Chain A
Amino acid sequence: VSGTLTASLVGVGAAGPFRPQEREGLYLAADATLSAVADAGLSMRDIDGLVVDHGGPLGPDYDQFAQFLDLRLTSCLQTWSHGRFSTVTVQLAAMMIAAGQATTVACIDGYHRTGLAFGGSGWHGWSEEMRIGGGPHGEDPMVGLTAPLGPAAMAARRYCELYGVNSDELFHVVRAERRNASLNPAARLQGEITREQYMSEPKVVDPLRRADCAIPSEGGYCVIVTTSERAADLRAAPVMLLGGRGIPGGREQFFWGRPGLGMGLQRTDLTPQPETEIFRQSGISTEDVDVFFTYDAFSPLIWFGLERFGFCPPGEAAAFCADRNLSFDGDFPVNTSGGMLCAGSAAGWGHVVEMVSQLRGEAGPRQVPAARTAMWGSCFGDALVLGAG
């Protein structure tokens, strides 16, 4: 593909992350949108495009949301997809703008948890989960492989066995995210963690411990995208979209793995190749990334994300995370809000908001000095690259 996306992110708003079932998704999303519009220095009447992530039953549907806020839209779109697709909504907004269908697009999610466990038989996604080819989290409850954590632990074990890695080394990932969260007042998990404390955390699904799992949360999020021309006149320093893509996980991937872990329904012995397309599209290299964000529902996903995008070779992410410092004040900052692991897991939306905050220089005590380029890249291959204006 040769297309490039040109747009600016001019407003962000967040309501949460909160403890599950505190508020309805519609209100969470509406609160976040009002905050984002104010953050941009716009009015609600300026919003003429809408991209909704998830929709019901996890959050508000596009029509319900538009009516609730009396939006006057020329273009709207709702996408059901996995939580990691939060960044893809930004790409869709840029496409709307590039195609002349809208000028100022609100990308929203009101991520509300129903109280029923993921991977459980009562969960609304049950039928979806049972579809041919594997469900959203790879669960297989009939043989006890319940909850997203089970498949995540399966992929982590496979990785450790393949590369001779001790899963205790996940401590370095957890330590960094805890440190980041400790300087984020909105983070649900506060306080740093020592190796002793990490080692005493109970193994829930061996080899993963409680501390390797994200804090289930809910929240409303909004990112406002507009043309670069319009962005120049708005309140905050614009953040430029440099590149992005959304792709499905291949059949060779377990959900919670990356290519080469081969945990899909059919055996594949695939040698993983680092991604190059997103770097070509955005005109950067791994060396240019000042702060990296990745989907972190479970701590090993950070290893997998780093390897997928070539920050280190396959099998070396554990050593990379031990040698480098992933904290906001370290030499390779990752998930500076504390991520889903510690700030709270409401799909990947908290990461998008944090990327914008970092590039504006508005991240407060956890600001990465001179952050000019922020990259999102999940182990499943979707990516987003943003640059300071």
Chain B
Amino acid sequence: MSHTDAATTSRTSVLVDGQLMLRYCDSCHASYAAWLSICSSCMAADLTLRAASGHGRLNSWVVYQRQYALPFDLPVPYTVLAIDLHEGPRVNALLAPGQQMASLRRDLQVELDVDAASAAGRTVFRLAESNEMSA
């Protein structure tokens, strides 16, 4: 496995046409990051890959002020989110272009930005409009 091949999907998520994929257990209905192949709740081995709802809440975030590790470098500054998906798994994602770090706070509702993710080939989330309604 070459280094580049190993990195075509994120550690925490797999994208297909901008959709975020998870593995679902048909036996006990648990869901996992797409990497997992065996259900750690009931040990079923036939997990199926399905698109996630794309909705979650913000667990944490960081802002990179310098670049590391070619070939993944992005123009700095950029913001990386840790998101608790409503299905249970936690994924990392980029904050959508144009959204500001200053508006972030714990437990904000976030949603997959399919167009941005599809264009970038990386998992991209944005703040959900429902945050403004509840604020």
Contacts and interface: CB of A to CB of B under 8 A. Distances in A.
A265 B7 contact: no
B65 A142 contact: no
Contact of B4 (A121, A158, A266, A267): A121
A142 B80 contact: no
B122 A205 contact: no
A121 B60 contact: no
A153 B65 CA distance: 12
B62 A207 contact: yes
Interface in B63-93: 63-72, 74, 77-78, 80, 82, 84-85, 88-90, 92-93
A126 B3 contact: yes
Interface in A203-225: 203-207
A142 B90 contact: no
Interface in B33-61: 33, 35-37, 59-61
B11 A134 contact: yes
Contact of A147 (B33, B68, B82): B68
Contacts of A157: 60-62
A127 B1 contact: yes
B11 A117 contact: no
B49 to A, nearest CB: 15
B81 to A, nearest CB: 8
Contacts of B68: 117, 119-120, 146-147, 149-150
A359 B72 CA distance: 46
Contacts of A203: 63, 65
B36 A132 contact: yes
B133 interface: no
B interface bracket (residues with beta carbon within 8 Å of A): 35 or more
B106 A161 contact: yes
Contacts of B90: 263-267
B63 A205 contact: yes
Contact of B62 (A135, A142, A154): A154
A162 interface: yes
A23 B73 CA distance: 30
A144 B94 contact: yes
Contact of A142 (B3, B10, B82): B10
A204 B65 contact: yes
A74 B51 CA distance: 56
Interface string A106-125: 00000000000101111000
Contacts of A132: 35-37
A387 interface: no
B7 A130 contact: yes
Interface centre among B12, B36, B62, B71 (most CB of A within 10 A): B62
A126 B6 contact: yes
Contact of B89 (A121, A263, A266): A266
B62 A150 contact: yes
Given A135-B11, A206-B64, A207-B62, 14 more contacts: A121-B7, A129-B11, A130-B6, A130-B7, A142-B11, A142-B122, A143-B10, A143-B80, A146-B69, A203-B65, A206-B77, A266-B88, A267-B59, A267-B85
Interface of A: 117, 119-122, 126-127, 129-130, 132-135, 139-147, 149-150, 153-155, 157-158, 161-162, 202-207, 262-267
26 contacts: A117-B68, A119-B68, A120-B70, A121-B69, A132-B37, A133-B36, A135-B11, A140-B10, A140-B11, A140-B92, A141-B7, A142-B11, A142-B72, A142-B122, A144-B74, A144-B78, A144-B80, A153-B62, A154-B60, A154-B62, A155-B60, A161-B105, A202-B65, A206-B64, A266-B88, A267-B90
Interface of B: 1, 3-4, 6-12, 32-33, 35-37, 59-72, 74, 77-78, 80, 82, 84-85, 88-90, 92-94, 101, 105-106, 122-123
